[in-house]
Amino acid sequence: MKRRSKLFIVTLLMLATVGLLLPVHASALSDIPVTGTFTDSFGGIGSFVGTFNPQNFAVQNGALVLVGTLVGTLTDSKGTVLGTVVRAGQALPVGTPTGSSCSILNLTLGPLHLNLLGLNVFLNQVHLVITAQSGPGNLLGNLLCGIANLLNGGTPDLATLSGLLNRLLLTL
């Protein structure tokens, strides 16, 4: 009887473990809002409102992309709906967003007491934080972010990274 109970418990634990390893296909990354503008035939600013449903990550032309279905509506500047867009297999580039920042220096000094030839300087705690802002036109920020990431292991293997991201996407 004890042997049968142990076998039942081991079987139940194995089934539970396999169930946890199976991917969940209802992705938390569905219906991502996408908006944009365009110049319509009247010379006004039209709008695009839609959603993006990602399916997988891939490498195209040496760059990491997110592939999915883009669905949305184009409306001209006068409010007239021009049509609906449905594009399966749409690839969007994946990278560091414009305006992102990277940490350059985070330094905390305790209280300092200096005697400079009879001049006493007492300085309380100093916290110095320097961050670089990357993006178009931010030459120094782009340069410092590039230098700060030089020792991060070199160029990543995009195929491996794409595979890992796909596994992560399946679990969401």
pLDDT digit string, tens, across residues 118-150: 899 888 888 888 888 877 788 888 778 777 766
pLDDT digit string, tens, across residues 60-106: 887 788 899 999 999 999 999 999 989 999 988 876 555 677 788 88
Torsion of CA 13, 15, 21, 25, to 10 degrees: -140
Contacts of 74 (CB under 8 A, 6+ apart): 38, 46, 47, 48, 81, 82, 83, 84, 85
Entry pTM: 0.50
Is residue 12 pLDDT above 60, yes or no? no
pLDDT reported for residue 8: 47
Q: Which pairs with CB-CB distance under 8 Å and at least 24 residues apart come from 115-119?
A: none
> Tokens representing 87?
């594009």
